[in-house]
Amino acid sequence: MDELLLLLNESTEKEISLESIKSHPVGGWSNINLHGFTSSYQVIIKLPVLQNFFETNPYEDEYIHSLALYRENLSPDPIEYGVLKDRFGTPFFIRKYVEGRIYKRVDSIPKQSLRTLKNSLNRFSNVTIEDLAEFPRASDYLLHLFDQFEKSIENIGTIPTHLRGYISRYQKAILEFLGELGDYPKWNRLVMHSDLHEGNIVFIESNVQLLDVGDICRGNPLYDLAYMYSQGDGPIADYSTFPGLDEIQQKELEKLIPLALLSLITWTLTRLVDIHCGIVIKPLMTPEIVKSLESYLLMKFQQFDTRTKIVHC
């Protein structure tokens, strides 16, 4: 940690002057989140889990989005993003640490807190942020996910048989579900988070702070609820408890759950490919983690198969 502390202080332009960093990460699968301290405030330092060279800084959008949301009291204060002066030019993002309540499971969030979340998400969906990606239809968003995955496997060479089987099953599910999405209504192009889960929601009294906002876009905020209730390591949670959903919205949310499941499958399969390629940091490449990811992947495949039968029967 001393070497990282030195690198960060050398690489930041705003003279943050970090004094210490805790050695244990604060959650997160897509990034390493470290708890840091200055003389006057606490911060979260985000670093990528992938060990490779980055053509662009993946945290630039998160900084821009966080700044707009911070002004609306919807996200912590972003401090700086940049690259470390190491051999990889490792990107980093630093934001203020916020003290609040993060629930371990979506079905453990009490009703009053869900009402707080609903009010904050309503404000969030109408925030003005320039140059956000727009997805007029669910099919556009699905193609975006699929394109990201296809790019990630373009040059990986030989793929193990079991991983090829997962990829083939995924590609077949995408193509079949695209045919079903033609009848879905157009999206309202309001702001959606794209990765909304309990770990990205900090409850602070009568307000909510949203984390990991790098992938927000314009689409359909109901997708965020479908994702939030689908992403857990277990059965799909009961979304009917979310306050304020009328019958039409509940039916639309139900139809978006297979799309949310495909998004979760996309992420998990991409991580398994990254591990196979050896570009994930060693602590996240253990056999136990691979086994856990494969178990989660198969569970989401099964839920997708079940849900598509329910939605389209």
In the chain, the amino acid numbered 179 is G
Please tell me whether residues 263 and 123 are part of one structural domain.
Answer: yes
Stretch (H or E) spanning 46: strand 42-48
Q: The CATH number of the domain where 221 resides is what?
A: 3.90.1200.10
Domain with 110, as residue range(s), is: 106-312
If asked whether residues 87 and 181 sit together in one domain, one would say no
- pLDDT score, position 1: 67
Cα separation of 65 and 78, whole Å?
9
Joined together, the tokens standing for residue 83 give 């690259």
d(CA 220, CA 135): 8
Q: How far apart are CA 232 and CA 279, in angstroms?
A: 26
Give the contacts of 91 (CB within 8 A, at least 6 positions apart).
Answer: 47, 48, 54, 57, 58, 59, 81, 82, 83, 84
Give domain status of residue 101, yes or no. Answer: no
Among 188, 176, 165, 167, smallest CA distance to 142 is for: 176
205 assigned to some structural domain: yes
Assess whether 71 and 167 both reside in one domain.
no
Take residue 9 and report the two structure tokens written for it. 């202080």
> Quick one: 239 and 199 in the same domain?
yes
Q: Which pLDDT does position 210 carry in this prediction?
A: 98
Choose the final residue of a domain: 77, 96, 115: 96
pLDDT tens, per residue, the chain with 313 residues: 678 888 888 888 877 888 899 877 776 678 999 999 998 999 999 999 988 778 889 999 999 999 999 999 999 999 999 999 888 889 999 999 999 999 999 999 999 999 999 999 999 999 999 999 999 999 999 999 999 999 888 877 788 888 999 999 999 999 999 988 877 889 999 999 999 999 999 999 889 999 999 999 999 999 999 999 999 999 999 999 899 999 999 999 999 999 999 999 999 999 999 999 888 988 888 999 999 999 999 999 999 999 987 554 4
Contact between 118 and 242 under an 8 Å Cβ cutoff? The reply is yes
**85 and 148 co-located in one domain:** no
Do 135 and 39 share a structural domain?
no
Same domain, 164 and 89: no
H or E element at residue 101: none
For residues 169 and 36, state if they share a domain.
Answer: no
Whether residues 42 and 145 fall in one domain? no
* Residues 296 and 158 both lie in one domain: yes
Residues 162 and 223 in one domain: yes
CB 218, CB 191: distance < 8 Å: yes
Give 30's DSSP letter: S
How far is CA 72 from each of CA 102, 121, 220, 280, rounded to the nearest angstrom? Answer: 20, 12, 20, 35
Give the per-residue pLDDT at 313.
45
How far is the first Cα of the chain from the last one, in angstroms, to the nearest whole number? Answer: 55
User: Structural domain tally of the chain?
Assistant: 2
Tell me, yes or no, whether 259 and 144 share the same domain: yes
pTM of the model: 0.93
In a domain, 27, yes or no: yes
